[in-house]
C-alpha cells in the first residue's frame, strides 16, 4: 500500500497528465468548498488518485484474505473514495480507475513475491512477533490517509528538494 501511494503521489507531483477538474477553467464545475491552487499545494495534477489508490489497495489486501468481505470493501472504497471525489471535481473517472489499477497491482505483485514475503516475515518474527508495531503503523497510516497525508507532506517536499538538487548537481 505504501509503495502504491508513493508512486501515486510522485505521479501527481511530477507528471502533468491533466489538471484536477476543479482547477481546469475550461470545465464548469461548482466549487462549494472553494478549492484553489493553494489547497492542493504542488499536487495540482490528479492522475492517479492517491486517495483511491490507498483505499482500494487496503480493500484489495482484505480481498486477498477474505473474498466476500474484500468485495464489500472494494465497493465501499470505490463509492466513498472514487465516486465522491469525481462528484466533487477533485478527480476524473480515469484517475479513480488509475488508482484502482495501481493500488491493486502493487498489492498483488508484492503479495506474490516470495522473497519480499520471506524478508518481511523474518523481520516481523524477529522484531515484532506480537504485531504491535505493525498495528500502530497501520493505525497511523490510516489516520494519515484520512487527512490525505498532511503530516507527511513536509517530509515529501523536503525529499523532493533534495532529489531535484541531486539531479541538478549531476547534470552540471
Return the half-sphere exposure (C-beta side, CA atoms, 13 A cut-off) of residue 168: 6
Q: Are 73 and 62 in contact (CB under 8 A)?
A: yes
Give the mean pLDDT of the chain: 76
Share above pLDDT 90 across residues of the chain, in percent, rounded to a whole number: 1
How many angstroms separate the first and last alpha carbons of the chain? 36
CA gap 97, 103 in Å, rounded: 10
CA gap 25, 86 in Å, rounded: 16
The segment with the largest mean pLDDT, out of 94-103, 109-118, 130-139, is 94-103
Q: Are 140 and 149 in contact (CB under 8 A)?
A: no
CA gap 78, 142 in Å, rounded: 16
Summarised one tens digit per residue, pLDDT across range 19-59 is 777 776 677 776 655 666 555 566 667 788 888 888 888 88
Summarised one tens digit per residue, pLDDT across range 142-156 is 666 655 555 555 555
3-state secondary structure of 27: coil
pLDDT of residue 137: 65
Phi/psi region, residue 89 (left: phi>0; alpha: psi -120 to 50; beta: rest), is left
91 closest CA partner among 57, 38, 36, 52? 52
Lowest mean pLDDT among 1-15, 58-72, 85-99, 137-151: 137-151
Summarised one tens digit per residue, pLDDT across range 64-78 is 888 898 898 888 888
3-state secondary structure of 19: strand
Tell me the domains of the chain and their CATH numbers. 1-112 (1.20.144.10), 114-172 (no CATH)
Reply yes or no on whether the pLDDT at 134 is more than 80.
no
Higher pLDDT, 2 or 94: 94
Amino acid at each position: 500500500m505504501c509503495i502504491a501511494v508513493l508512486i501515486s503521489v510522485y505521479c501527481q507531483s511530477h507528471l502533468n497528465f491533466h489538471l484536477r477538474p476543479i482547477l481546469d477553467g475550461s470545465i464548469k464545475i461548482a466549487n462549494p468548498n472553494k478549492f484553489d491552487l493553494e489547497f492542493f499545494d504542488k499536487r495540482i495534477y490528479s492522475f492517479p488518485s492517491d486517495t483511491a489508490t490507498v483505499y482500494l489497495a487496503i480493500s484489495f489486501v482484505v480481498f486477498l484474505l477474505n473474498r466476500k468481505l474484500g468485495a464489500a470493501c472494494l465497493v465501499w472504497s470505490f463509492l466513498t473514495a472514487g465516486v465522491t471525489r469525481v462528484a466533487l471535481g477533485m478527480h476524473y473517472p480515469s484517475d479513480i480507475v488509475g488508482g484502482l489499477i495501481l493500488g491493486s497491482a502493487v498489492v498483488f505483485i508484492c503479495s506474490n513475491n516470495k522473497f519480499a514475503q520471506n524478508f518481511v516475515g523474518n523481520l516481523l518474527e524477529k522484531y515484532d512477533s506480537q504485531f504491535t508495531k505493525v498495528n500502530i503503523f497501520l493505525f497511523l497510516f490510516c489516520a494519515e490517509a484520512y487527512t490525505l497525508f498532511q503530516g507527511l507532506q513536509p517530509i515529501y517536499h523536503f525529499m523532493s528538494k533534495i532529489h531535484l538538487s541531486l539531479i541538478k548537481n549531476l547534470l552540471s
